[in-house]
Structure 1
Amino acid sequence: MNHLFVRRMLPWLLLLLLVLQVAAVPAFAQGETTPVSSLSANVEKYLSDLQKNQESMGLYAGIAVYDLTDKKYVYTHNEKRNYIPASNIKLFTTISALDRLGPGYQWKTEVYIDGKVNPGGILQGNLLLKGYGDPSLSPEDLQELATAIKAQGIKQVNGDLLLDESYFDDTRLGTSWMWDDEPYGYSAQLSALAVHKNFATVTTKPGLKTGDTAKLKIEPANTTLTLTNKVKTVDGSDTVITVERPRGKNEIILSGTIGVKSSDYQEDVTMEDPALFVGDVWKQKVTEAGIELKPKTEVKKTIVKTGVPLHTHLSKPLSEVMVELNKESDNFYAEMLLKTLGATQKGQGSFEAGTEVVADVLKRAGIESGYAQVDGSGLSRFDLITAEQMVKLLVFLQDQDYREVLEATLPIAGVDGTLKSRLKGTAAEKNVIAKTGSMGGVNSLSGFVTAKNGHKLAFSIIVNGIYKSKYARELQDFIAIQLATYPENLFPAGYTPEQLQTYQLSGLIDPILDKPEADGLTTGIIVKTLGGEVLYEHDADSLLTPASNLKLLTTAAAFNQLGTEYTFKTELYGDTPIAQNGVQNGNMYVKGYGDPTLHTEDALQVQDGVSIEQIAAWLKEQGLKRVNGNLVLDESYFDQQRLGLGWAWDDESYYYNPTLGALALNRGTVMVEYEPAKKAGDRVKWNLLPKTSYVQIINEAQTVEAGQENTFAIQRNRGTNTIRLTGNLPVDQEGDYERVPVEEPAKYAGAVLKEALVKEGVSFAPKSSITIGNVPVSAVKWNEFTSLPLRDIVNYLNKRSDNFYAEMLLKTLGGVKKGEGSASAGAEVVQDDIASMGGNTNFDMIDGSGLTRYNLISARHIASALEGMTKSGAFAAFDESLPIAGVDGTLKNRLKETPAENNLHGKTGSMTGVNSLSGYITTKSGEKLVFSIIVNGYAIDSEVMTDLQDEIATILASME
């Protein structure tokens, strides 16, 4: 079929599908909105005023209010656009749970025996504990179970304590949850066998006097978690404590200070493999019940295949559990409930199966598509819904026999739950019942209110792009009060509806944004001449997730603040000068300053610059033969934060999610090459670059017959340098490679350097080790190796959109300009640079690459940086670094055979639910324009977003 014909027909097909979908929606969804009611006028004026305030102008909201009595919408605003809902997604989960499980559903936890109990009460075998996803299981419940077993005559167990968590899958965290949330209780890992919500509570108490180490207590007591106490007691009553849990480890590190007069500080902390935590607590409760365990009794996991339970514990009914879930917005309860839905209804306790069940319920509510749900709690920023969809579900709820049960779980304004402290003393107090939702940049409120005329209103307010959260809450509270007094709202004095501003390009670009397939998208656009004339803008101030368009700010600031010819250095030192006999009796030191191009001379090399082989060869040329001291690696120029804040835990095995450090090699990765064996049944063949012992490869992957499913995967065990090859690779597949990040990048560089030196004939003493440390002041500098100039490095960075380069550059900006090699210090430098070019800095920049979804920036911010760079002495180098449409980089295959080909110079950006394109383009008449297009939201296909951008770019290039 002709490809061009398909592309031309696609919009009409999508429109037809939309018409059919609308026809299937219940009649209530088609009610008319009051043209300019006092309610509408009040809310629209409030929204308009927010856009005039520098601290609130970036927020954008989807709002829908439906009168359940009159069966019509009384107010809507961008109700069909998709938004990240945060905890409002819990309504999807809990309504579906009541629909499919019923209010009386109870979770069970069973105890089995594997063996025989002799007349003396001795179990010759194992005691088995099987979980079915009870989110509310407590240590007291385990005590009750143990007591019940003792009552049945078991006095001693001559075996192990076995745990069965197989009712759920082994995916512990939701899609795209943030790694830096993991230590905290609200992001606890999931398991079908869980206790105390899979977290422990650490209480920190001040010491008796200033200077003392603080006192720690953990509940429930357990041996699963190790506490490292770095908290000191100081004068006063202030407390500043940081809690860390290294990825993949069960160590909790508390550091900071607590005032000697301070009250206790508490934090809920999580653990890896939480079923073993259950086993730890279970073992204690069994012992406390008077059941004797052998000294060698172990806690291990298993799967119970047969047998009759010796005793079963039942949870409280779902209706009661859901009160805490919704009132307190409990993430753990919601996720366990979602997996329970999957296990009970689809036979698979997984996120995917659970969301399928929710989708089945939503279809009955008239919500067929146009949303994304990946977890049960809303902790993932991959969740995308509309205010209209939420209201449809709330309307659907009214006809269900569990309506009162669900409504009883919602927080009451000014009374309880997450609304306890809001709307007090207003018409909405005790009147609004609604689910809240809140995380960085997101705030939502959906539920019910009884209006002044007695009508019950269903409403949803979802706000994204929040720079200061108070403005979103105040907007919600304002609307809630308006609804509580509806329809007696006073028309705002002097109010006149704002006229939609038109621009020179409105007639050409507006129809592109109005296409049905773009309904769920929020698109920030601005197009300007270099003289400052705005040719078009649309939601240009909305704070959106920019993806890799953020690299424009990072690289612009780097050129302006460091200069195009800036070079990175890597230094070599020794405790003494290199000995004439070649035997170095002291330590050798390597100090890094953030060179992103340090590499090995193999397929991992992407640019010239400093290589490990070059350093090793130079040392050999100096006559070095043996090192009797240590190889010490100094990475102190940067902080120790290896990943950007907000990066997703499930991306850690992928090259675009590299580990960071001032001394890092091969963009923080190794390369695993692979290909099928010559015949089916043999292991997949692999090769590691560089050839280093720093990482371990475990090959479990099999070659299978041609035509079979390709399930081959490469994953790194979290927090380790163990890489697993798994799955099946058909014999007819071609070979390929993956770059995989490694932990502790400085040690990786040191290990490869040591191996290169050994290869050059340099030996190390048997007790010589590779350590992290600082170069002492007394050390002797041996040499300094310098990178390519920054112009070459940024050229690669922008053309290839390299995240590692961008993050190293951001930390370098912080190191050079602020004396602190951190992302936060680097972001300060970038904002200072934007301000110096006349741009506003009311945006959030958290990393340098755009990988985190914590970044919030508008099209206007991006365009101001691009505009400012045209006046910079570094503009030529900056412009040269950008991909060229249809020619190279990430734009190589876009806009071919259009007027934008070999014309548009721009930066792309792409993540799930995000696509951006910003840069420069020259019109047909020869005028250079600056433009920025940032698209966020849900689309039936990612090409909807790129096609939108390409259509606009073609229009700009075609302008006379």
Structure 2
Amino acid sequence: MPDKRSILFLALFFCCGLLHAQSLNLKLQTAFARLEQDTQCKYASVSLTVLDAKTGETVFLARPDMGLATASTLKTITSITAFNLLGKDFQYQTTLGYRGIIAADGTLNGDLIIKGGGDPTLGSWRYGSSKENTVLKTWVEAVQKAGIKKITGSIIGDDTVFGTQKIPDGWIWQDLGNYYGAGTSGLCWRENQFDIKLQQTQVGNPVKILRQVPAMPYLHFNNELLTGAPGSGDQAYAYLPDKNSIMYLRGTYAEDLTKRTISAALPDPAYDAAFRLTDTLYKLKIVAIGMPESTETFASLKRQMPQADQVIANIASPKLSEIIFWLNKKSINLYAEQLLKTIARKAGKPATTANGVAVLQDFWKTKGIDPNTLNIFDGSGLSPGDRVTTLTIAKILASAKKESWFPDFLKSLPIYNEMTMKSGSINSVLAYAGYQINNGRDLCFSIIVNNYSGKTSAIKAKMFKVLDELK
């Protein structure tokens, strides 16, 4: 039986904890009211949820059931769902094979086929095993080992594993030609993007296009991009009409910017992968007689996509934990969208975005979360039509805390305002979601402001003042 001294200590401990919790709640009430009443939020919708990350208990709620555009904080939900449904060691597989017969003189009477498995990292510069030159070297060595010295057919990029709809419903036209609006593909390549090197001229005059990295000889560029005034920033946008080889550059690029590079989306990543392998082999005097082809080529000609008779190389992606690290650190929309389609495929459904959303909603429904609080069109948050409550985001963050893979997820989140959290920003939307330790107590939170006015930097500073109360 505990003595009086122990009972008194426990009573004081719980009283202090209760007083601190009440104090934090009052501080958050004051800080949130100040934000909500700020002139930048006059026409805005503002919500904040703070939970105990270990127990899920409520610490603070303000408009917790208001469905709001999440921007990139939606990536936390996609990441956590992928960890749950795929496992942290999950890897994609990409194969290189051929159909036809290799003659005694090394002539392949047939085609080489790159079969994508949905790997968003293939050709990416972020991982040693997936870099473009590393992948091409692996493929070249496999071709040489197979004894192939000439190809009578073509090198074909097969991206059929993810279907034909590359752009999620709800994305806006202005985003689609840019690297952050790159569509999904069963066969991704270089994160489905390339760089355009620029040179500014006098303000108001056209910016010069110096070159593309890598060179894009099969695209034509209609340059309407103008040199902007100093301080006006990067307002350049690439536009690429569907199934078109003409890319339009529009907007302005400030005279004082030193990067002089913008990144655009590949129109057909599977074709580009086939094109690069064709070119690499040609330089080694292994010539493919036919032109590079992709799924879109066969679809336009109403021809059936051929399948390989013999696989000669397999490339495994980095593990899911490594993919999610970069997904959240650099807020890579493509990675999130690929994962959403992957969880649909893992569930035995056609790998579409809509099916991925349904699988995600069904999974969280089994965890007690109303699917109506997860009204989403994509996995990245790029769609301005996404609507999620801060309470649901915080609950999902709290659920992750109990999992063995949580350290990998936590490591993926950036540091802002000396806090571990994911940010999200699209037109008039700013959001943060993450974790913070307060007086030894693990907290998780989600704060979202929709339809604010004025500068993003100003509303960010005001949101940080609210979150400062969690420190």
Which bin holds the TM-score, normalised by the shorter protein?
0.7 to 0.9
Aligned to 1:831: 361
What is the TM-score with the length of structure 2 in the denominator?
0.83
Equivalent AA in structure 1 for residue 144 of structure 2: E
| 1:552 to 1:682, Cα distance in 2 relative to 1, 3 A | closer
Distance 2:261 2:25 in 1: 49
Give the superposition deviation at 1:853: 2.0
Find the counterpart in structure 1 of residue 437 from structure 2: 922
Supply the distance in 2 between the matched residues of 1:867 and 1:905 (Cα, whole angstroms).
14
Structure 1 pair 718/565, CA: closer, same or farther in 2 (3 Å)?
same
State the Cα distance separating 1:508 from its structure 2 match: 4.5
Q: Which residue of 2 aligns with 1:748?
A: 272
Alignment partner, residue 932 of structure 1: 446
Query: How do residues 573-588 of structure 1 correspond to structure 2 at under 5 angstroms?
Result: 573-576=97-100, 581-588=105-112
Q: Which amino acid in the other structure matches residue 421 of structure 2?
A: G
Residue among 23, 34, 49 paired with 1:526: 49
The answer to whether the 8 A contact 1:582-1:625 is kept is yes
- Shift of the 810–701 alpha-carbon distance from structure 1 to 2, 3 Å rule, reads closer
- Relative to structure 1, the CA distance from residue 838 to residue 613 in structure 2 (aligned partners, 3 Å threshold; closer, same or farther) is same
Please state whether the residue corresponding to 1:746 is helix, strand or coil: helix
Asked if 1:785 corresponds to 2:345, the answer is no
CA distance in 2, matches of 1:768, 1:512: 59
Cα–Cα, structure 1 residues 579 and 609, in superposed 2: closer, same or farther, change >3 Å?
farther
Q: Which of 159, 162, 168 is the matching residue for 1:638?
A: 162
1 CA distance for matches of 2:144 and 2:122? 20
Q: Structure 2 vs 1, CA of residues 652 and 862 (structure 1 numbering), >3 Å: closer, same or farther?
A: same
For structure 2, the 5+ residue unaligned runs are 1-23, 299-303
- The residue aligned with 2:34 is 511
Deviation for aligned residue 1:535: 1.6
Match of 2:385 in 1: 854
Q: Partners of 1:844 and 1:727 in 2: how far apart?
A: 32
Tell me the residue number matched to 1:879: 410
Rounded to whole Å, the distance in 1 between the matches of 2:227 and 2:451 is: 40
| CA shift for structure 1 position 748 | 2.3
Give me the whole-angstrom Cα distance separating, in 1, the residues matched to 2:254 and 2:423.
Answer: 34
Once residues 87 and 383 of structure 2 are traced to their aligned partners in structure 1, the CA distance between those partners, rounded to angstroms, is 27
Match of 2:16 in 1: none
> Is 1:616–1:760's contact at 8 Å kept on the other side of the alignment?
no
**Cα separation, 1, equivalents of 2:405 and 2:454:** 40
Matched with 1:549 is 73
Cα distance in 1 for partners of 2:339, 2:270 equals: 17
Question: CA–CA distance in 2 between the matches of 1:873 and 1:639?
Answer: 33
**Measured at CA, do residues 778 and 511 of structure 1 come closer, stay the same or move farther in structure 2, by a change above 3 Å?**
closer
Question: Of 878, 897, 909, which aligns to 2:424?
Answer: 909
Quote the Cα distance in structure 1 between the aligned partners of 2:458 and 2:225: 37
1:854, CA displacement in angstroms? 2.2
Name the structure 2 match of 1:614: 137
Tell me whether 1:864 sits opposite 2:395 in the alignment: yes
Aligned to 1:955: 469
Looking at secondary structure, tell me which structure has more helix per residue.
2
Structure 2 distance, partners of 1:686, 1:518, is 43
Amino acid at match of 2:180: Y
Report the Cα offset of residue 920 of structure 1.
0.7
- Please report the RMSD computed on the Cα atoms of aligned residues, expressed in angstroms: 3.1
Rounded Cα–Cα distance in structure 2 between residues aligned with 1:947 and 1:710: 20
1:316-327 alignment to 2 at 5 Å?
Answer: none
> Which of the pair has more CA radius of gyration?
1
| Alignment match, 2:219 | 695
Higher RCO (CA-CA < 8 Å; seq separation 6+)? 2
The alpha-carbon distance between structure 1 residues 820 and 542, as it changes in their structure 2 partners (threshold 3 A), is: same
| Offset, 1:793 | 0.8
CA contact (8 A) 1:671 1:739 kept: yes
Shift of 1:708: 13
The alpha-carbon distance between structure 1 residues 836 and 871, as it changes in their structure 2 partners (threshold 3 A), is farther
Percentage identity across paired residues of the two chains: 26
SS in 1 for 2:128: coil
CA distance in 2: counterparts of 1:934 and 1:728, whole angstroms: 30
Determine the structure 1 residue equivalent to 2:325.
Answer: 795
2:197 corresponds to which letter in structure 1? Answer: E
Q: Equivalent residues in 2 for 1:1-20 (5 A)? A: none
Instruction: Say if 1:744 and 1:508 are closer, same or farther in 2 by CA, change over 3 A.
Output: closer
Q: How far did residue 664 of structure 1 move?
A: 1.9
Compared with structure 1, are the counterparts of its residues 798 and 702 closer, same or farther at alpha carbon in structure 2 (3 Å cutoff)?
Answer: closer
Amino acid at match of 2:468: T
Paired letter, 1:607: Y
Residues 420 and 435 in structure 2, CA contact (< 8 A), matched pair in contact too? yes
Q: Distance in 2 between matches of 1:741 and 1:711?
A: 17
| Residues 91 and 318 in structure 2, CA contact (< 8 A), matched pair in contact too | yes
SS at match of 2:446: strand
The yes-or-no answer on 1:535 pairing with 2:59 is: yes
| Contact residue 692 and residue 751 of structure 1 kept, 8 A | no
Q: Which runs of 5+ in 1 are unaligned?
A: 1-501, 886-894, 896-900
Deviates more, 1:856-865 or 1:574-583: 574-583
Count of aligned pairs between the two proteins: 432
CA shift digits 1:682-702 (9 cap, x unpaired):
982512111232322355778
SS at match of 2:110: coil
Q: How far does residue 579 in structure 1 lie from its aligned partner after superposition? A: 5.3
Give the Cα–Cα distance (whole angstroms) in 1 for the partners of residues 154 and 463 of structure 2.
55
Compared CA separation, residues 698 and 626, structure 1 to 2 (3 A): farther
Equivalent position SS for 2:45: strand
SS in 2 for 1:609: helix
Cα separation, 1, equivalents of 2:67 and 2:253 = 44
Q: Structure 1 residue 856: deviation in Å?
A: 1.1
Please state whether the residue corresponding to 2:355 is helix, strand or coil. Answer: helix
Query: Is 2:230–2:254's contact at 8 Å kept on the other side of the alignment?
Result: yes
Distance 1:828 1:631 in 2: 36
Q: How do 1:320-469 residues align onto structure 2 when only pairs under 5 Å count?
A: none
How many Å apart are 1:948 and its aligned residue? Answer: 3.2
- Write out per-residue CA displacement over residues 100-157 of structure 1, whole angstroms, 9 at most, x where no aligned residue: xxxxxxxxxxxxxxxxxxxxxxxxxxxxxxxxxxxxxxxxxxxxxxxxxxxxxxxxxx
- Asked whether the equivalents of residues 327 and 336 of structure 2 are also in contact (C-alpha less than 8 Å), the reply is yes
Letter in 2 for 1:818: G
**Post-superposition shift, 1:864?**
1.1
Question: 1:574·1:780 contact (CA, 8 Å) conserved in 2?
Answer: yes
- Indicate conservation of the 8 Å contact 1:557/1:829, yes or no: no
* Letter of the 1:606 counterpart: R
Matching residue within 330, 335, 341 for 1:811: 341
Superposed, which structure 2 residues align to 1:482-501 within 5 Å?
none
Q: Structure 2: which amino acid aligns with 1:527?
A: V
Distance in structure 1 (CA, Å) of the matches to 2:350 and 2:254: 50
Q: Say which is worse superposed, 713-722 or 840-849, in terms of deviation.
A: 713-722
CA contact (8 A) 2:155 2:274 kept: yes
Determine the C-alpha separation between the residues in 1 that align with 2:250 and 2:59. 53
- Amino acid of the residue matched to residue 933 of structure 1? I
Distance 1:681 1:820 in 2: 48
Contact 2:113 2:308 in 1 (8 A): no
State the secondary structure of the residue aligned to 1:804. Answer: helix
Counterpart of 2:317, as a letter, is S
Q: Distance in 1 between matches of 2:234 and 2:315?
A: 43
**Is 1:652 matched up with 2:176?**
yes
| Alpha-carbon spacing, 1:580–1:568, altered in 2? closer, same or farther (3 Å) | farther
1:266-320 Cα shifts (integer Å, max 9, x gaps)? xxxxxxxxxxxxxxxxxxxxxxxxxxxxxxxxxxxxxxxxxxxxxxxxxxxxxxx
State the distance in 2 between where 1:736 and 1:536 align.
Answer: 45
Summarize deviations over 1:860-892 as a string: whole Å, max 9, x none: 11011101111122211111111123xxxxxxx
SS state at 1:830 partner = helix
Aligned-partner SS, 2:415: coil
